[in-house]
Every structure is written in C-alpha cells, then in structure tokens.
C-alpha cells in the first residue's frame, strides 16, 4: 500500500476540512508567524541599508577634528579662548603619529551658486589635499580627483558633485575641461564625483565643489588656516587612541589641555559605525526571537489541532488498524496533515511579506528584499516545527488499539 497517493491527499484535505474553524485559526497563526518573521527581517535589512548609506562615502576607520573653544585654563591662558588649525599642523601630525594612515585638512566655504553659462546650482566649496580622497572615498564618474600637481601649481581646478553636475549639464555629458564660476572665480572641471552619501562634512558630496586646499586658502583669504583636520588609522589601530595622540600634538602647538573636551570637537566615524553595527546586531536578534516565538506558538497550535483530530478520529483509526493499516501508515497520515498545513500557511505568509517588501523597495529605497535563501531557511525551520508539532498527536495515534477504539464507539 502506498503511503501517499491521490486518495491519501483527499483524506488529508477531508480531515482538515472537518475542523474548519480550528484549521483556519491554526493556519492563520502559522501564516502570521511567517509573515512577521520575513517582514521584520526585510525591514531590518532596509533600515540597515539606509543607515549604512547615510554613514557611507567616508572611511570607517577615520575621525574629524574641529577646533572649538577651550573650557579649561592652560599654561597661563584663560578658558574661553579660540584658535585655528594651520597647514603646518598637518606636517607635525604626520611626523608625530606613526599609527596614522592618512592625515589631511579642509578649508570650507558655505553654500554659494556654481554657474555654467545660464545655469546654476547651489554647492559648498571644500578645499582639500589629494589625500582627502582616501577619507571621503569619491566615486568618479568622469575625470579624476584633485592631485599633487594641482596643489604644487595652485591650479584653479575643481571636482563637482552629482547634484551640481545634474543641475549644470545634460545626462551623459562629459564636463571635464569646461569652466564654471564660483564667487566670481572661474574653475576648470577635472572630475565628477557621483558618490551619494548622506554623511555631511561641510555639505554632502553630491552638492560640493572640491578644489585644491591652497587655492581655497588664497581665494577665501584664510592665510595658512585649516578649518578641520581629518585622519584615518592604520589597520588594527583604534581611532580613539589615535585621536588622543593627535590632541596631545595639537594641544602642545595651540596651548590647550588635551583632556579639554570642548577645546576640539571630535567626530569619531569608527565609533559611530560600531554603535550602529551593535545596534543592528541587537535588532536582528530581537527580530529572530519575535519571529521564532510567533512560529513556536503556531506550532503549538498545530499540535493541539492534531491532538483534537486524533481524538475525534479514534474509531476511524481503530478500524483502519483492524483491517490491516500499519502504525507507519497512521503516522504518515497524521504527520502529512501537520506538514501540509504548515507548508501552505507558511508559503502564503512568505508571499504576502515579500509583496509588501517589494512595495517598500520601490517606494522607500533599496535593501528591503529578503533573499531567497533566507526565505527558504525560514520555511525549513517552520516545517521542522510542523514535524515536531505532529509528534505528540502521532504518538497518541500509534497508541490506539482496535479494541479500545471499538469500545470508544
């Protein structure tokens, strides 16, 4: 006798339909558990992608130091004193910090219009050195980044961001070699940066005009001053320790206490990434616990409905045993009902969750879709729970003897 054929399938469906209300409630519990698990996993992925893009476009092992106002007296100087970093500070830091990979600075100017012919686009202007590209991680669509020759020859050249490019030129047009005007001064475009990070260092990269730092110092009349210092650490070196060493060097030069938290504003990108990473690890664990808890509750529901089914079919099972059905056949019947209910409800939950995630993917942004492998892994875990849920009813069914079933009748 075959364990599974069309007649067996009909028996399974007939058994489930005889308990419509319980079957529906149990199936809905399984559907809801799988739906919530996949939806939460996709939502967590989408949120993680959004935060990663927000913090993206800048080296993760980096920090930014901005001069502030002293809050402690130091070596005869009163508190409340302000100071500016100098280009010479960069050279001192390079000589004094062996653990630093990149040390660079920036001279910034706030939003002004970049003009090309009769078109204009708003942008901040950042004067940088060539090393800044290892900090900001540009994605060059056209041309190149600022190089050392631009610095040595004080060239009036620029790299424009994506939004600036879109505001001044047609899509696909190579603007390299063309002149744009910023604060009445003409700059030759040598590159277009298409990085789209939301991380703002004097403006987001897509709304930035980048020029050589010494040129910025000249045209903005900053002398030798630098608005901020950026540094990245070598591999396996903690950025926090590197910043502490940098503050000692800078404090000695500008007469402020290195322990003065207000003397310099520190943006520790490495620390920010670690906080976000740990946050999402906790969120993912919480999502799994909630989802698995919901699935476990659904599996208990499956077990309960199967127990009720076995009790109601005591006579039927006894008769089948009396006419020759083996315990394996009875077990297969009960387990099939449990697994079928689990698979159908679980697949329906996956389909509904993926449909909603697809809508979010189109409306909100990328990252919400759950991979096929993850969905199948969740379904596999659900089927395993369905099998386990059928163990108790199966044991009860196997224990039924034909004589006891007749007596029950």
Q: Single out the residue of 378, 312, 382 nearest to residue 341, CA to CA.
A: 382
Compute the distance between CA of residue 2 and CA of residue 49 in angstroms, rounded to an integer: 51
What is the residue-averaged pLDDT of the chain?
82
**CB proximity list for 133: less than 8 A, separation 6 or greater:** 145, 146
What pLDDT score does 404 carry? 57
**CB proximity list for 193: less than 8 A, separation 6 or greater:** 138, 139, 140, 141, 145, 159, 160, 161, 162, 205, 206, 208, 210
What pLDDT score does 4 carry? 47
What pLDDT score does 6 carry? 53
Contact 387, 297 (CB under 8 A): no
**CB proximity list for 27: less than 8 A, separation 6 or greater:** 341, 344, 345
Q: Is the confidence at residue 1, as pLDDT, over 50? A: no
Q: What totals of helices (H) and strands (E) does the chain contain, helices first? A: 14, 12
Compute the distance between CA of residue 176 and CA of residue 153 in angstroms, rounded to an integer: 19
What pLDDT score does 201 carry? 73
Using alpha carbons only, give the angle 90, 91, 95 rounded to the nearest 5 degrees.
120
For 341, the token pair is: 């209910």
Per-residue pLDDT tens over the stretch 241-252: 999 999 999 999
Q: Is the confidence at residue 12, as pLDDT, over 70? A: no
Banded pLDDT at 321 (limits 50, 70, 90)? low
Average pLDDT on 269-283 reads: 81
Average pLDDT on 14-30 reads: 67
Per-residue pLDDT tens over the stretch 65-112: 999 999 999 988 899 999 999 999 999 999 989 999 999 999 988 878
Contact 124, 202 (CB under 8 A): yes
For 307, the token pair is: 């127990």
């Amino acid at each position: 006798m075959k364990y599974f054929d069309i007649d067996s399938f009909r028996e399974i469906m007939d058994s489930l339909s005889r308990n419509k209300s319980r079957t529906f409630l149990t199936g809905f519990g399984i559907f809801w558990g799988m739906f919530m698990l996949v939806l939460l996993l996709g939502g967590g992925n989408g949120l993680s992608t959004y935060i990663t893009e927000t913090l993206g476009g800048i080296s993760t092992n980096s920090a930014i130091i901005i001069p502030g106002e002293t809050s402690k007296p130091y070596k005869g100087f009163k508190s409340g004193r302000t100071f500016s970093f100098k280009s010479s500070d960069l050279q001192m830091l390079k000589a004094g910090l062996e653990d630093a990979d990149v040390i660079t600075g920036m001279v910034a100017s706030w939003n002004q219009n970049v003009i090309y012919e009769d078109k204009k686009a708003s942008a901040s202007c950042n004067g940088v050195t060539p090393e800044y590209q290892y900090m900001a991680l540009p994605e060059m669509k056209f041309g190149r980044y600022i190089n050392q020759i631009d610095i040595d020859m004080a060239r009036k050249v620029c790299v424009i961001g994506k939004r600036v490019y879109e505001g001044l030129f047609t899509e696909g047009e190579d603007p390299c070699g063309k002149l744009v005007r910023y604060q009445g001064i003409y700059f030759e475009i040598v590159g277009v940066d298409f990085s789209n990070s939301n991380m703002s260092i004097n403006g987001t990269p897509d709304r930035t005009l980048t020029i050589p730092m010494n040129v910025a110092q000249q045209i903005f009349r900053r002398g030798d001053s630098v608005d901020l210092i950026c540094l990245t650490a070598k591999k396996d070196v903690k950025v926090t320790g590197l910043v502490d060493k940098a503050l000692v060097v800078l404090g000695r030069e500008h007469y402020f206490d290195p322990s003065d938290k207000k003397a310099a504003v520190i943006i520790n990108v490495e620390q920010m990434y670690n906080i976000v990473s740990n946050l999402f690890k906790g969120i993912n664990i919480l999502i799994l616990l909630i989802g698995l808890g919901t699935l476990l509750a659904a599996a208990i529901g499956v077990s309960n409905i199967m127990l009720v089914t076995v009790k109601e079919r005591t006579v039927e099972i006894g008769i089948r045993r009396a006419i020759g059905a083996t315990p394996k056949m009875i077990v297969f019947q009960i387990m099939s009902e449990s697994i079928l209910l689990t698979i159908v409800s679980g697949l329906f939950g996956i389909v509904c969750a993926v449909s909603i995630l697809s809508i979010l993917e189109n409306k909100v942004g990328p990252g919400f879709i759950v991979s096929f492998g993850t969905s199948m892994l969740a379904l596999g875990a659900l089927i395993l729970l369905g099998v386990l849920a059928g163990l108790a009813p199966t044991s009860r069914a196997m224990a039924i003897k034909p004589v006891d079933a007749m007596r029950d009748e």
